[in-house]
Structure 1
Amino acid sequence: MRVLVATIVAALAGGSATLAGAQHQHSHDPSTPVAPDTRQFVKFPAPLVEHTLANMRDHLQTLQEIQSQLAMGQTDVAAKVAETRLGMSSLGLHGAAEVSKYMPQGMQDAGTAMHRAASRFAITAQEAGVTGDLKPVFAGLAEITAQCVGCHAGYRLK
C-alpha cells in the first residue's frame, strides 16, 4: 500500500512540475514577438537599488509567510507578521523615508496603499480569529497583493 501511495504522489508531483513547466514555457517561445517593456524606469542611487530590491524580496517572503500562517489557521500570527513586516508600523524597518525621495508620485502612492492595506489586513485577520470568517481576510490579502502587482506592472528599477 505504501508503494502505491508513493507511486501516486511521485506521479502527481511529476505531472505538476510538467504542467508548471509547460505553462511557464509557453510565453517564452522564441518565435513569439516580445512586447516592449513599457514600465517607467525609476533611477535610484546604486546602494538604494539593492536595498529596495531586498525589501521587495522580503515583502514577497512575508506574503508567503502570511499565507502559510493562514493555512494553519493562525490568523493572529498572520496579523502580526503583516503589521510588523508590511504594515504602516514597518516603514522604519524598510527605510521608506529615504527610498521614497527617489520614487515618482504614483510609485509612492502604490507603496503607501500597500502598507495601509497590510495594516487593514492585520485588523481583519485578528477579527477573523474571533468570528471565524475568512472571506474578508482573503480579500484583504488580495488587496495587498494587488498593490504589489500594480507597482511592478508600472515601474522598474535597474
Structure 2
Amino acid sequence: MRVLFPVAMICGLSLLAAGATAQDHHDHMQMMSKMATDSRIGVDMPPPMKAHMLTNMRGHQQAVADILAALAKSDGAGAAKIAETHLGMGSPGSAACKPNAKSGGLGEMPMMMASHMPEAMQGLGMAMHAQATKFAEEAAKLKQGGDPRPALAELSQVVQACNACHAAYRLQ
C-alpha cells in the first residue's frame, strides 16, 4: 500500500501535467490561428520609427482618456486644449501624416515615418487629426452644465478614425 500511493500520486500528477500541456498547446494554436487570419496590411518600419509611432499612439490613447475626464467635469475648454495639443492638426503627431510639410522642431523623424507609411494610412491619420481639431472646436463651446452630446459625437468620430486605421494596418 505504501508503494502504491506514491505511484498513484505520480501517475495523477503526470495526467494533470499532460492535461495542462494539452491546454497550453490548444491555446497556442488558437492564438496562431488568429494571427494567421490577420488580414490587415503590414507596415514595415525600422525599429526606432516603429517605437516612435507606438509611443505616439499610446499618447493618443492617453489624450482621449484625459479628454473624457475633462468632459466628465464639464471642462470643455480643457478638453479642447488637450485635443488640439495632442491630437489635432497642430499636434506633433500629425506631422508624420503630412509628408510634404515642414516638421519644424521635430527633426526628421516625422518625414522619415511618412516615407514608410502607405498613402492611405497617412490619409486615415490626417482624418483623425482633422476630426480631433473639429472636436476641439465643438468642445470649446461647452459651458459648465451645458450639453456635452455634440462634443461627444465629435469625439466618437475621432475614435472611429483611430479604429479605421487600426483595422486596416498593423506595424511589423
TM range (shorter): 0.7 to 0.9
1:85 aligns to what?
86
1:142 aligns to what?
156
In structure 1, the residue corresponding to 2:143 is in which secondary structure?
A: helix
Unpaired stretches in structure 1, ≥5 consecutive residues: 1-28
- What does 1:12-91 align with in structure 2 at a 5 Å threshold? 30=27, 34=34, 36-90=37-91
Larger radius of gyration: 2
CA distance in 2, matches of 1:93, 1:41: 20
Calculate the TM-score normalised by the size of structure 1. Answer: 0.74
Report whether the alignment pairs 1:115 with 2:129: yes
CA distance in 2, matches of 1:93, 1:145: 15
1:5 aligns to what?
none
1:24 aligns to what?
none
CA distance in 2, matches of 1:93, 1:153: 19
1:19 aligns to what?
none
CA distance in 2, matches of 1:126, 1:37: 39
Return the offset for 1:69. Answer: 0.6
2:143 aligns to what?
129
CA distance in 2, matches of 1:73, 1:133: 9
Q: Which structure 1 residue ranges, 4+ long, deviate > 3 Å from structure 2?
A: 29-35, 92-95
In structure 2, the residue corresponding to 1:129 is in which secondary structure?
A: coil
Contact 2:124–2:165 (CA<8 Å) still a contact in 1? Answer: yes
1:157 aligns to what?
171
Q: Check 1:101–1:129 CA distance in 2 against 1; reply closer, same or farther (3 A cut).
A: farther
Unpaired stretches in structure 2, ≥5 consecutive residues: 1-25, 97-109
CA distance in 2, matches of 1:105, 1:141: 24
CA distance in 1, matches of 2:145, 2:120: 36
Two-structure CA RMSD over aligned residues (Å) = 2.1
CA distance in 2, matches of 1:150, 1:73: 28
Calculate the TM-score normalised by the size of structure 2. Answer: 0.69
In structure 1, the residue corresponding to 2:60 is in which secondary structure?
A: helix
Deviations 1:5-28 (A, max 9, x none): xxxxxxxxxxxxxxxxxxxxxxxx
